[in-house]
Amino acid sequence: MAKVKPKSRAFFQRVKLTPEEFTSLKEVGTRPTQRAIPDAHRNRLIAAGYVREVVRGFNALALTGRGIARLDAGK
């Protein structure tokens, strides 16, 4: 049986968001099909794994499981 390597600790660490970026994360949670957040926030939230593009080219975004957990944490 193959051994599974544990993921690095960096994967599980929470990415620090500015208050404006956190507001953008909440915006995606309430209106996922409408692009109402700045491009810089969008790119950072995607890189952090909190949101994903639903359909490329249409700028429709959706929360990932990690993004939902971050919103539930409230920070």
pLDDT attached to residue 15: 84
End-to-end CA, the chain: 40
Rounded to two decimals, the pTM is 0.74
Q: Is the pLDDT of residue 1 over 60?
A: no
Identity (one letter) of the amino acid at 7? Answer: K
pLDDT digits (tens, 9 = 90+) for 18-73: 999 999 999 998 876 666 789 899 999 999 999 998 876 667 889 999 999 999 98
Please choose, from the candidates 43, 47, 49, the residue with its C-alpha nearest in 3D space to the C-alpha of residue 63. Answer: 49
Domains of the chain and any CATH numbers: 16-73 (1.10.10)
pLDDT attached to residue 8: 43
pLDDT band of residue 9 (cuts 50, 70, 90) is very low
